[in-house]
Amino acid sequence: MQDARFPGESGEYRRARNELLEAEIGLRRQIEAVAAQRRTLPLGGEIQTDYVFEEWDEAAGAPREVQMSELFEDGKDTLFVYSFMYNPGPTGPLEEPCPSCTSIVDAIDGQAVHATQRINFAISTKASIERFRAHAQNRGWRHARLLSSGLSTYNTDYKAEESDERQFPLATVFVRRDGKIHHFWSSELWFVPAEPHQHPRHVDFLWPLWAIFDRTPDGRGTDFHPKLEY
């Protein structure tokens, strides 16, 4: 199958590894087949309003409003938005940033400079932009565009928030066609019951932590969750 051999490996190991390699090849084919199917999706619904977000204006040292249409740069007709959760406190108000969402953005902040060569990319949260910016500075994020969705119904319209203000970590893709903005895809695996001993895995494609653990003898485990501090 392939000629690479590693020091001291037995015939038993190589046979088992080759069987696994066959499975990995099949998985690679399936991943590409699903990606190809995803690319053939027809346009989703047109956005009903030009959502208003807030972002931090470094030059002015204050928040500024930006509409969704303004997130599309010239020559880039795709917008990828990750909805970042803040955990509600006992009485409802937003309290602390989600450790899992933080782990995701820790990993993808540096990739934002690469992603934005081809697409528009932003991270949105219901919390105020001042609060989100302070968290970003604490984590050392420097590249991802940070937005607050607190001024609009974006979170509830695109299923990142329930009516009781529970928030969900969703990835959403919008496209611009003929001057109109349409929904294209969302990470709907979040809403599908997971099989036993699995997480929803709807945003694992953003989250390399689990891909690393999946390649170790102990796997993901059942009791590990990212924290804000260790």
Written as six digits, the tokens of 9 are 């490996």
User: Which residues, given as ranges, of the chain have pLDDT below 50?
Assistant: none
User: Minimal CA–CA distance to 135: which of 87, 64, 204?
Assistant: 87
pLDDT the model gives residue 93: 60
Q: Do 34 and 99 have their domain in common?
A: no
pTM of the model: 0.94
pLDDT the model gives residue 1: 78
Regarding beta strands 180-186 and 145-148, do their DSSP bridges make them parallel or antiparallel, or are they unpaired?
Answer: unpaired
Q: Do 167 and 74 have their domain in common?
A: yes
Q: pLDDT tens digits, residue range 58-73?
A: 999 999 999 999 999 9
Number of folded domains that form the chain: 2
What phi-psi label fits residue 131: left (phi over 0), alpha (psi between -120 and 50 degrees) or beta? alpha
Q: Do 165 and 122 have their domain in common?
A: yes
pLDDT the model gives residue 222: 81
Q: What is the DSSP letter of 82?
A: E
pLDDT the model gives residue 69: 98
Q: Do 160 and 73 have their domain in common?
A: yes
Q: Do 135 and 24 have their domain in common?
A: no
In a domain, 193, yes or no: no
In a domain, 70, yes or no: yes
Q: Do 26 and 63 have their domain in common?
A: no
In a domain, 15, yes or no: yes
In a domain, 174, yes or no: yes
For 55, half-sphere exposure in the C-beta direction (CA atoms, 13 angstrom radius) is: 17
C-alpha 142/C-alpha 134 separation (Å) is 12
Q: Do 162 and 66 have their domain in common?
A: yes
Q: Do 179 and 97 have their domain in common?
A: yes
Residue 132: which domain range?
Answer: 52-188
In a domain, 24, yes or no: yes
pLDDT the model gives residue 88: 65
Q: Do 112 and 156 have their domain in common?
A: yes
Q: How many CB atoms lie within 10 A of CB 146?
A: 21
In a domain, 206, yes or no: no
DSSP string, 47-64: PSS--EEEEEETTTTEEE
CATH number reported for the structural domain that contains residue 161 in this entry: 3.40.30.10
Q: Do 60 and 87 have their domain in common?
A: yes
Q: Do 78 and 158 have their domain in common?
A: yes
pLDDT the model gives residue 91: 57
Q: Do 56 and 115 have their domain in common?
A: yes
